[in-house]
Homo-oligomer: A and B are copies of this chain.
Amino acid sequence: MTDDIDFYFDFSSPYGYFASTRIDDLAAQYGRKVKWQPVLLGVVFKTTGARPLSEIPVKGTYALHDFERTARFHGIEYRQPPVFPIATQIAARATIWIRDTCGDEKAIEFAKAVYRCYFVDGIDIGQSENVVRTAALLGHDTERLSEEIAGTDIKDRLRKEVEQALQRGVFGSPFIIVDGESFWGFDRFDQINAFLRDGTIRSKNHP
Residues of A within 8 A of B (CB): 47-51, 56-59, 61-62, 65-66, 69-70, 72-75, 166, 169, 171-172, 182, 184-185, 187-188, 190-191, 194, 201-206
Contacts and interface: CB of A to CB of B under 8 A. Distances in A.
A169 B65 CA distance: 12
Contact of A204 (B73, B188, B202, B205): B73
Contacts of A56: 48-50
Nearest to A66: B184
11 contacts: A47-B57, A48-B56, A59-B171, A61-B169, A62-B171, A69-B191, A73-B194, A73-B201, A73-B203, A185-B187, A187-B187
A65 to B, nearest CB: 8
Given A47-B58, A57-B47, A70 B191 contact: yes
Contacts of A187: 185, 187-188
A185 to B, nearest CB: 7
Given A61-B169, A66-B184, 17 more contacts: A47-B57, A48-B56, A48-B59, A49-B56, A49-B57, A58-B171, A62-B169, A62-B171, A62-B182, A72-B202, A73-B190, A73-B203, A75-B204, A75-B205, A75-B206, A185-B187, A187-B187
